[in-house]
Amino acid sequence: MERFLELVIASVLLAGLYATMAYGLGLIYGVLRIVNLNHGGMIMAGAYAGWYLHSEFGIDPYLALLPVGTVAFLVGMGMYRLLVHRLPRGAAGGVQSLLLLFGVWLVMRNIAYLLFTGNDQTVHTTYATRAITLAGAQVSVNRLAVFGVALATLGILHILLTKTYFGKALRAVAQNPESCTLQGIRVDRIYALTFGLGTALASVAGLLGATLFPFNPSFGAAELLKSFVVVVLGGLGSVAGTAIAALILAAVEVFPTAIPGFPTYLTAALGFVLLVLVLVLRPGGLFGQRVLG
Amino acid sequence: MSTEPLLEVRGIDAGYGDVQVLSGLSLKVEEKEIVTLLGSNGAGKTTTLRCIMGVVRPRTGEVIFRGQPLSAQPASERAGQGMALVPEGRELWPQLTVRENLELGAYHQRARARAAQNLERVHQLFPRLLERKSQMAGSLSGGEQQMAAIGRALMSEPSLLLLDEPSLGLAPIVVEQMFEVIRSLHQGGMTILLVEQNLQAALEIATRGYVIETGQVKLTGTAEQLRNDPKIRAAYLGL
Ligand SMILES: Nc1ncnc2c1ncn2[C@@H]1O[C@H](COP(=O)(O)OP(=O)(O)OP(=O)(O)O)[C@@H](O)[C@H]1O
Ligand SMILES: [Mg+2]
């Protein structure tokens, strides 16, 4: 029973990270109909940014979240204006945008190799190994903090999307851009801001991930794939759907670790088994085809 | 008429890709008029309205609003200047609530300041929208969607309202209600350009009309003149 509780707690905490990680990918796809393959690159960049600020300047990774997120937001806006803006969208333009953003990712990854070598890095904070007892289970303080940040991020996003003019306009653009233009919404600006927001979320997730796992320049690849799993399961841009999907993915990865002799290298594959099952059984995702509804 | 028209379309050519739809189309709408734009399917009525709103760019010619040529401005500026289109097929945001659809009608700065007031006015005009405010727009009936689309346009405080077949696909009683609303908006001082298939009703409500055929104005005159024109009676009214 105690073991079960531990597993539940571990799943929930991991789900927070997964939801944050996936949300940006779903947001950009939902609004721009572009699969941001550079999502993985920004996750990696966020991890290195946090690590660099911590190891060089002693800045706590949690304090680095806001500046790193802000810079990533601007980088995303810039990337939209410079590159993505020129691409055809949707089914017709899928290939070009995939190639271009994949190219950007490769370039970023190689720059990281050049700057930081391929060695694994970790962010060692003083509280990295501290744990508290929660409902009888030992829980890492850092994992709790990651979860707290993830929860706050999703909460803020939810408020942004449902309560502000910008958020409503963003959802409207996802559903019918021409009607937006007619009402005076500058659609291209919403696209740029959305791309910035999605990019910022990826970097924040990367930074949070860096406090939990060792990473190297190829960090972000498995995370991109996990983000796909969550987006397909949870639908586009629904905060609740994303959270539930992230929880399912986390549980599917965490629970088998309790089976004695279960090979750890298989846990990563479980998510994709889940993805395939969902695509076969419920091609529209668990919650149907709602877009940012 | 000596004052300059509120809207003038001057010799526009427009189309989609290689297909030319409008050729040298011109029309005027004076302040406080209801002008109706008539023509058979595919004549270019919707394209004309889309050119006026800037979402289709004319290849030549000019759209002039309050004496200002608009060709250099992005389409998203039109709402702020006082033009609103109720598009053919409503084009609401189906997965936003009715309330959110209306709120976004007041997106541009000038309207945003008075959004609360205008929302109340829209609810007075269409009480049904208040009852349905938390419902997704996509789940409304056709008539309710048309109300929401008109409401959304009104939220932007237009001085020129473009309506593209507001009666399309609606039950006769709802059609009547729509025309009643259009009439009351006009009495409230709104200038209206109305595209309609329902010629009879359109010519009853309008002050003037244009008949377009293959992207050109074929006939123009007061509603009275058009009603009595033998060609129109034969071709469109089946009389
Ligand atoms: N997006 C588009 N791409 C290509 N051709 C189009 C497009 N929209 C309209 N057309 C074509 O332009 C012509 C004029 O269309 P338009 O919609 O302006 O006509 P309309 O007078 O509004 O007709 P209706 O009464 O059926 O609404 C038609 O031949 C139509 O097929
Ligand atoms: Mg039409």
Calculate how close chain A gets to B178, using CA atoms only, in Å. Answer: 21
Q: Would you tell me the crossing angle of helices A239-254 and A221-234 to the nearest 10 degrees?
A: 120
Q: Has residue B238 got a pLDDT over 70?
A: no
Q: How far apart are CA A1 and CA A152, in angstroms?
A: 30
Q: Which residue of chain A is at minimal alpha-carbon distance from B80?
A: A184
Q: Examine the pLDDT at B36 and tell me if it is beyond 50.
A: yes
Average pLDDT over residues A141-147: 94
Is residue A51 pLDDT above 50, yes or no? Answer: yes
Chain B residues touching residue A176 (CB < 8 angstroms): 91-94
Residue B82 C-alpha, separation from nearest chain A C-alpha, in angstroms: 10
Residue B192 gets which letter from DSSP? E
Q: Please tell me the distance between residue B98's alpha carbon and the centre of ligand 2 in angstroms.
A: 24
Per-residue pLDDT at A90? 62
Q: Residue A244: what pLDDT?
A: 92
Please identify, by atom number, the ligand 1 atom nearest to the C-alpha of residue B44: 18
Q: Which residue of B has its CA nearest to A162?
A: B100
Cβ neighbours of A184 in B, within 8 Å: 76-80, 107-108, 111, 156
Q: Is the pLDDT of residue A28 over 90?
A: yes
Average pLDDT, chain B: 93
Encoded amino acid at A201, one letter = L
Q: What is the domain partition of chain A in residue ranges? A: 2-118+137-281
How many H helices and E strands in chain B? 11, 10
The predicted structure's pLDDT at residue A241: 85
Q: Which residues of A29-64 are buried (b: 16+ CB within 10 A; e: fewer)?
A: bbbbbbbbbbbbbbbbbbbbbbbbbbeeeeeebbeb
Task: Write out residues 82-121 of B within 8 Å (CB-CB) of A.
Answer: 84-85, 87, 91-96, 100, 103-105, 107-108, 111-112
Cβ neighbours around B170 below 10 Å, total: 19
Q: Does the structural domain A2-118+137-281 have CATH classification 3.30.420? A: no
- Within a 10 A sphere around the Cβ of B3, how many other Cβ atoms? 7
CA distance B76 to B79: 7
CA distance B75 to chain A (A): 6
pLDDT of A223 above 90: yes
Chain B residues whose beta carbon lies within 8 Å of the beta carbon of residue A169? 104, 107
Q: Which pLDDT value is given to residue A282? A: 75
Provide the percentage of residues in chain A whose pLDDT is more than 70.
95
Nearest residue of B to residue A292, measured between CA atoms: B95
Q: Which percentage of chain A shows pLDDT scores above 90?
A: 67
Residue B2 is predicted with a pLDDT of 53
pLDDT at A234: 85
Q: Please report the pLDDT score of residue A240 as a whole number.
A: 84
Helix (H, G, I), strand (E, B) or coil at B188: coil
pLDDT of residue B7 exceeding 80, the answer is yes
Strands B60-65 and B7-16 turn out to be antiparallel
Chain B residues in contact with A182 by the CB 8 A cut-off are 53, 55, 75, 78-79, 84-85, 87, 91
Q: What is the pLDDT of residues B171-227, one digit of tens each?
A: 999 999 999 999 999 999 999 999 998 888 899 999 999 999 999 999 999 999 998
What type of residue sits at position A126? T
Determine the residue of chain A that is closest to B52 in CA distance: A182
Q: pTM of the prediction?
A: 0.93
Chosen from B76, B78, B98, B101 to mutate, greatest number of chain A CBs within 10 A: B76
Rounded Cα distance, A255 and A267, in Å: 9
Which atom of ligand 1 lies nearest, measured to the CA of B48? 18
What would the mean pLDDT of A234-254 be, rounded to a whole number?
A: 87
The whole-number pLDDT of residue A236 equals 73
* A224-237: pLDDT as tens digits: 999 999 998 887 76
Answer whether A184 sits within 8 Å of B87, measured CB to CB: no
Predicted pLDDT at A290: 56
**Range of lowest pLDDT (A42-56, A215-229, A249-263, B127-141):** A249-263
pLDDT, position A276: 86
Average pLDDT over residues B71-87: 96
Looking at residue A293, its pLDDT comes to 46
Instruction: Write down all domains in chain B, each with its CATH number in brackets.
Output: 1-82+158-167+193-239 (3.40.50.300)
